[in-house]
Amino acid sequence: MTQAHDLPPVIGVWREGDPLGRRRFVTGVQVLETGQELPFRIAYETWGALNSSASNAVLVEHALTGDSHAVGPAEEGHVSPGWWDGLIGPGKAIDTDAFFVVVPNVLGGCQGSTGPSSPHPGGSPWGSRFPAVTVRDQVAAEVTLADALGIDRWAAVLGGSMGGMRALEWAVSEPDRVAALLVLVSTAQASADQIAWAAPQLHAIRSDPGWHGGDYHDIPGGGPHAGLGIARRIAYVTYRSEGELSQRFGRRYQDGEDPLSGGRFAIESYLDHHAGKLSRRFDAGSYVVLTESMNTHDVGRGRGGVANALGRITARTVAAGVDSDRLYPLYQSQAIADAVTGAEFAVINSPYGHDSFLIETEQIAKLVRLLLG
């Protein structure tokens, strides 16, 4: 039986000396919105080739627990398979025979970009010393990446959920550098409801004895694995729709288990499964940092409000929501489309809720082709 002290301090986090996989890196230093100076590294992956005019580059932004590995199997250096395999590749909606696709791991993440599990300049992991970063800070780091790649203007920037926040921020903060924009199941500013759903997740992680104030990365067997699992269970309920969960699981018992005798309902087993998966591939510190960056997301901050900020966008824009999404309801996507000149609002019809942007490949492919066509 595996003992706690035999476990690595963080499971699934990419660290120096691990296989690189497809990762490449760019480094820089930036002053954050808080005023703190942060030396950083961004890990990224690319598919396709940049043309001579550097005009065919597409930036794809991942969601909260995603990373740069959008395409391909789980393999050496990459703990998870590609999360948008159905959309990116030769002949697919984001055609890598025509476009140069760039997918960065977000600043604050745990798959090669600087985050709480990364080495502090002093040597040990950042841990609790890692500063608060905003969506605006994350985009500023990606500007450094674009500059390093020689990309003055993206042919398109696409993202869903947290990735949609970064895509939108790109178009607001760098309007001359974004030709087309697809914002999926996202918002211009986090709502009270979204912040409320995040609150018990953050409390679950910070209340875990393994949290150690955020400084657990070098403790053998350390890490708030149970707290992260609870956070994932809470989040996963918001990612799927009530209708899907009712139809898929109902009140069925997990095979061979009876809740009257201490067993589980099938839906409980499902949530346990996803909690365990995330705890084995993601860093709780990154989960906290990125969740808080989503909470503080507001494109209108310091810009005269949301409407004024969205009025800066010059990109050809599609804002799309899912009709069964209870976390990022349709009205938030509609509000983006209404505020951006010439933008199109689209509805993805799906029973799967918020996660439909990862599932409904055919519907999203149509939106991508509309944008890139």
Confidence of residue 256 (pLDDT cuts 50, 70, 90): confident
The 10s digit of each residue's pLDDT in 199-220 is 999 999 999 999 999 999 988 8
Q: Which amino acid is at 62?
A: H
266-279 and 242-249 helices cross at what angle (nearest 10)? 110
Taking the C-alpha atoms of residue 348 and residue 357, their distance in angstroms, rounded to an integer, is: 8
Q: From the candidates 325, 333, 350, 355, give the one annotated as an active-site residue.
A: 325
325 catalytic? Reply is yes
pLDDT exceeds cutoff 80 at 97: yes
| Cα 67 from Cα 152, distance rounded (Å) | 23
Question: How far apart are the C-alpha atoms of 61 and 109, rounded to whole Å?
Answer: 12
Q: Which of 68, 113, 117, 161 is catalytic?
A: 161
Q: Which of 117, 283, 354, 355 is catalytic?
A: 354
CA distance 338 to 199: 30
Task: Please tell me whether residue 299 adopts helix, strand or coil conformation.
Answer: coil
Alpha helices by DSSP H, listed for the chain, are 135-149, 162-173, 192-207, 225-239, 242-249, 266-279, 284-295, 306-310, 330-339, 356-359, 361-372
| 161 noted as active-site residue | yes
What is the Cα gyration radius of the chain? 20
Domain annotation for the chain: domains and CATH numbers: 24-191+298-372 (3.40.50.1820), 194-292 (1.10.1740.110)
DSSP letter assigned to residue 287: H
pLDDT tens-digit series, residues 160-184: 999 999 999 999 999 999 999 999 9
Could you tell me the pTM of the whole model? 0.96
